[in-house]
Structure 1
Amino acid sequence: MPHLVILYSGNLDRDLDMAAVCRGLADAMLSVRDDEGKSVFPLGGTRVLAYPAPYFAVSDGGQAGCAAGESGDYGFMYLNLRMARGRSEAVQRRVGQAVSEAARDLLGPLKQTRRVGLTFQVDVGAEVYDAKFGNLHDLFQKEVR
């Protein structure tokens, strides 16, 4: 953990380099420091995953856009950052601000070319069960930060 999951309308693929968006958001997450100056998130546990929705309905289906002389080809993107509890509210806000700022920068050009609904939420809810059994973290255990 943390995992940033992006669900977006598939029509955005033609106007967006989603791999670059994912990398930029991951870098933003990894740049956040706690009050002691340590990275908030583990390098090996930081993940950004994006899933295009091939089927979707957005708003009024484009009627208002067409009436305004635009294409009416709306899009959406929902970003949900899930991180484990244990971080102060100030650190959680810092993370939210860093990711939000990066998303605004990365998605700014998209907003210049089309109408798109963007939502970003940070989820620090209760964990019912949490198991980690991969081997990616082992690679970074020797790294000094």
Structure 2
Amino acid sequence: MPHIIVEYSANLEAELDPGRLVDALHAAALATGAMPVGGLRTRAERRDLYRIADGDPENAFVAVLARIGQGRDPETRRRIAETLMAALEAETRAVFATRGLGLTVEVQEIEGTASLKTNNLHERVQARARGPIPS
């Protein structure tokens, strides 16, 4: 049940397409091979209230938090972080060249004791790969 949660400063929306960023991070996460497609959820939230570094209103940020289930070794967690950072850097390259921009990627393990899940997405993804799903 990996979740990728993106927060970004509102002052980026004129230069950065949040939907495209979500798509790029989702694809990068899947490309690691360490996250099941049926469990992956990627979303973004604009932050209107923020203060960055010295308070210059041109400063901006994007913070990516990947929450993953327990059990992946440190090398795999690091590879996930590096893959997500590469996608984030690629999507923000133009903005990074023109203003102060802080980029963060963090991978956290979800402690499973009180993490409950119910979904039918794994089965539906597999069925869709075989052909149309009947209504």
TM-score normalized with structure 2 length: 0.85
TM-score normalized with structure 1 length: 0.80
Gaps of 5+ in 1: 33-38, 63-71
Please give the residue correspondences for 1:88-127 in structure 2 after superposition, counting only pairs within 5 Å. Answer: 88-127=73-112
Give the Cα separation in 1 of the matches to 2:65 and 2:50.
18
Post-superposition Cα deviations, 1:8-39, rounded to whole Å, max 9, x if no partner, equal: 1111111101111110111111011xxxxxx3
Please give the residue correspondences for 1:15-94 in structure 2 after superposition, counting only pairs within 5 Å. Answer: 15-32=15-32, 39-62=33-56, 72-94=57-79
**3-state SS of 2:97 partner:** helix
Show structure 1 runs of 4+ deviating over 3 A. 141-144
How far off is 1:134 after superposition? 2.6
Distance change >3 Å, CA 125–CA 138, structure 1 → 2: closer
How far off is 1:135 after superposition? 2.7
Higher percent of residues as strand: 2
**Greater gyration radius:** 1
Gaps of 5+ in 2: 131-135
Question: What is the alpha-carbon root mean square deviation over aligned residues?
Answer: 1.7
Q: Are 2:3 and 1:9 equivalent residues in the alignment?
A: no
Post-superposition Cα deviations, 1:81-118, rounded to whole Å, max 9, x if no partner, equal: 11011112222222112111111111111101221111
Among all aligned residue pairs of Structure 1 and Structure 2, give the percentage whose two residues are the same amino acid. 29
